[in-house]
Amino acid sequence: MADHKATIESMLTALIEGRKFRSIKDIVVTMTPQDIAAILEELDEETLTLIFRLLPKDMAAETFVEMEPEAQQALIKSFSDDELREVMEELYVDDAVDLIEEMPANVVKRILAQTDHNMRRSINELLQYPENSAGSIMTTEYVSLRPNMTVSEAFMRIRRTAVNKETIYTCYVTEDRKLLGIVTLKDLLLVSDDDTLIRDIMDENVIAVHTLAASEDVARDLAKYDFLALPVLDKDDRMVGIITFDDAIDVLEEEATEDMELMGGMSPSDKTYSRSGPLDLFKHRIPWLLLLMVSATFTGIIITRFENALAAQVVLTAFIPMLMDTGGNSGSQSSVTVIRALSLGELEFSDLPSVIWKEIRTAVLCGVTLSADCFVKIMLVDRMLLGNAGVTIPVAATVCVTMAATVLIAKIIGCALPMCARRLGFDPAVMASPFITTIVDALSLLVFFGVASTLLF
């Protein structure tokens, strides 16, 4: 049970330190491969190898799959050829492909040498699909049935092949590799007559995807329809594999992380935070910081242009940070909302006019409220409480008018840019807060000085 997990883990760590191998063996067989992997990864190479050898064969392979590439490489190094072959035999094709993609060339060579002919062919096929395509995350190990099998023949086939299949709960009815329909194991169980033909109970209305479809779209389809797996067809509409719900969940989580990284002004990383060193983090963060620093030249130029106005009314400077932040926040509210809605497939480019109209109305509500409150705040806090005599009513009016205008501009740009990016084939999340902030900063300063010259000079 979940509650005892932490206890078991600390107990196991103590046993490993005490090298009580028999007890370790008794305990690990009660654990999940994921939890064993998490503990093994923390060990030094020698102990890791030692404990790994204690695992029963099928468990060893499952645990191996769950480990980080560094630990996997250390293990492979310590394996004899026979041991490596045994682990490879237990792997599903898609896990083997993941492994090969992570390992250096010399290790890959050793792995392929210890892989049987059929597996090697499947691996090579899967390796050819572009990254982030449905083909790259599918597995070729599914149950296929023939349309003129009887239900009892189908059960026999499932029983015979089940061990090597990722899922047996959805079976695919094919003829000449064309997908004719699907039958779930539940359907098969509920048929009362064992001689019923598969073609008579299969569901012919199948949702399928193509090998080159974006893995994100496929994952979202699977989530939408609550399917356990989706069949994948090649360009000639022949069935080549399936994508299972567990891989779809991973894709959705990775996509969310990637969107967040882009929203935070970073290039997305394949590595988790714990596995990223400062140099990795630096590489993913510095490009955006540099770009945004350089583009801030524009705000600098604008302020320099109005240097004289600022020198005459130094009090205006005090409001620049507030106006810039409000603009940035308003813009990122709209961009984040729209980026997520685009990711979830809720919005398309054709919705742009209605989105802009909705954002304009929202901006008016936000702008008016903010301006009014800001006016009160300026007069009460800045003028009366802090006794800043430079804060006159015209100054307050300048700030508040600018604020309302900034909110409007920020919300329009914030919703429009991500949608245009999607239209142009970019990831909308690139157009998130940092980028929009820079544009909105420049525009809000222009409005500020424009309003100031009208009201104050």
Residues 376-415, interacting with a copy of itself (CB under 8 A): 377, 381-382, 386, 388, 403, 407
Residue 440: what residue type?
V
CA-CA distance, 333 to 365, in Å (whole number)?
A: 14
103 interacts with a copy of itself by CB under 8 A: no
434 interacts with a copy of itself by CB under 8 A: yes
346 interacts with a copy of itself by CB under 8 A: yes
> For a copy of itself, which is the closer residue by CB, 120 or 147?
147
Output the CA–CA distances (angstroms, integers) from residue 250 to 238, 344, 431, in the order listed: 26, 15, 24
> For a copy of itself, which is the closer residue by CB, 368 or 393?
368
- To a copy of itself, the closest distance from the beta carbon of 217 in angstroms equals 9
> For a copy of itself, which is the closer residue by CB, 84 or 213?
213
Burial of 237 (0-12, 13-18, 19+ CB in 10 A): exposed
CA-CA distance, 169 to 187, in Å (whole number)?
A: 10
Which of 6, 80, 106, 190 forms a contact with a copy of itself (CB under 8 A)? Answer: 190
Which residue is associated with the tokens 């030692």?
50
325 interacts with a copy of itself by CB under 8 A: yes
366 interacts with a copy of itself by CB under 8 A: yes
61 interacts with a copy of itself by CB under 8 A: no
177 interacts with a copy of itself by CB under 8 A: no
- What is the full DSSP assignment across 173-222? EEETTEEEEEEEHHHHHH-S-TT-BHHHH-B-----EETTSBHHHHHHHH
197 interacts with a copy of itself by CB under 8 A: no
CA torsion 58-59-61-63 (nearest 10°) is 170
Number of residues that bind a copy of itself (CB under 8 A): 127
b/e 17-51 (16+ beta carbons within 10 angstroms → b): eeeeeeebeebbeebebebbbbbbeebeeeebbbb
> For a copy of itself, which is the closer residue by CB, 115 or 337?
337
CA-CA distance, 360 to 117, in Å (whole number)?
A: 62
> For a copy of itself, which is the closer residue by CB, 72 or 331?
331
Which of 340, 401, 416, 421 forms a contact with a copy of itself (CB under 8 A)? Answer: 340
Which of 285, 352, 420, 451 forms a contact with a copy of itself (CB under 8 A)? Answer: 285
CA-CA distance, 370 to 63, in Å (whole number)?
A: 55
Q: Are 268 and 257 in contact (CB under 8 A)?
A: yes
> For a copy of itself, which is the closer residue by CB, 122 or 444?
444
- To a copy of itself, the closest distance from the beta carbon of 101 in angstroms equals 19
- To a copy of itself, the closest distance from the beta carbon of 330 in angstroms equals 6
Interface residues for a copy of itself in 119-138 (CB under 8 A)? none
Q: Are 409 and 443 in contact (CB under 8 A)?
A: yes
Burial of 347 (0-12, 13-18, 19+ CB in 10 A): buried
> For a copy of itself, which is the closer residue by CB, 118 or 317?
317
139 interacts with a copy of itself by CB under 8 A: no
198 interacts with a copy of itself by CB under 8 A: no
Which of 206, 356, 379, 456 forms a contact with a copy of itself (CB under 8 A)? Answer: 206
Which of 113, 127, 162, 455 forms a contact with a copy of itself (CB under 8 A)? Answer: 162
The separation between CA 447 and the C-alpha centre of its own chain, rounded to angstroms, equals 38
